Homo-oligomer: A and B are copies of this chain.
Amino acid sequence: MSLVETTTNDAPLVLGTHTLRSRLIVGTGKYDTLELMQQSLEASGSECVTVAVRREKLYDPTGRNLLDYIDFHRYTLLPNTAGCYNARDAVRTAKLGREILLGLENPGADWVKLEVLADTKTLLPDPVETVQACEQLVGLGFQVLCYTTDDPVIAKRLKEVGATAVMPAGSPIGSGQGILNPNNIRICLEYLKGEDPDYPVIVDAGVGTASDVAFAMELGVDGVLLNTAIAHAKEPVRMAHAMRHATEAGRLAFQSGRIPRRLYASASSPEDGVIDRTSN
């Protein structure tokens, strides 16, 4: 039916050699149970999930392996370097992820979500180490999806050293503050997509609720990556549904060309023939 097509005829999100129909990428950490994670992933509508691949992170307290709870036919795995605080560790962790996924014959072996943090307290990204790690991983043949701050200059440098996608933070990881500086995201978009409109920019981190996701997409980013906002909501599965709708809503609204903001505007019905002018 024609109207449904309007929704579904959006171009897919192309990230290097990977193609995704959903523009929402979700994490797999922080859930109370692996079952809750499974249901939330499904509800999110995501086709790509990111996994912290260090061995000690793959097992839950009862010894179950996270990877056994992810349907590889349904989701593309995106290994990440969570827990790394310098370029060397991040590169090593990326290699570990590749090794594990090659062992699983999983197509996620060729890419990585790079995340190099500055400290365990704020979890802010370390821009200098991130640039170094990105450059090294690109040299090692990885397709690098690169988490970073919202600093447009660092974002540009990451693209220059070969990042497949740049993923600026909306606000600190897990802070739930949404997009604190839309101005910076807009300059990131101008820098990264100005002469290369298909270059992918994804907001990663900081999202707290559905309107944050919609707002991010309305700025013109290509996707949103989040974890805590779903995993730590009181009802994660329901919030996953919310995020799926919010991603779609924000994407469509961006494409639709919104009305301008004004102090006040014209009425919800035309003023022609106003009753107290024409008929009193």
Which residues of chain A (194-249) have a CB below 8 Å from chain B? Answer: 205, 208-215, 218, 227-229, 232-239, 241-246, 248-249
Nearest chain B CB to A233's CB is how many angstroms away? 5
Q: Is A52 an interface residue (CB 8 A)?
A: yes
Residue of chain B at shortest CB distance from A280: B89
> How many copies of this kind of chain does the complex include?
4
Centre residue among A3, A86, A251 by max chain B CB count within 10 A: A3
Contact of A259 among B54, B83, B233 (CB under 8 A): B233
Which among B229, B236, B246, B280 is the interface contact of A249 at CB below 8 angstroms?
Answer: B246
- A273 in contact with B83 given A173-B265, A176-B265 (CB within 8 Å): yes
Contact of A227 among B187, B268, B271 (CB under 8 A): B268
Contact of B233 with A275 in the complex, beta carbons under 8 Å: no
Known: A84-B276, A242-B253. A153 touches B175 (CB 8 A): no
Which of B6, B177, B264 is the one whose CB lies under 8 Å from A238?
B6
Is A127 engaged at the interface, CB distance under 8 Å to the other chain?
yes
Interface flag for A17 (CB, 8 Å): no
A274 at the B interface (CB under 8 A): yes
Known: A123-B268, A128-B157. 4 other contacts (CB 8 A): A176-B260, A209-B218, A214-B249, A245-B246
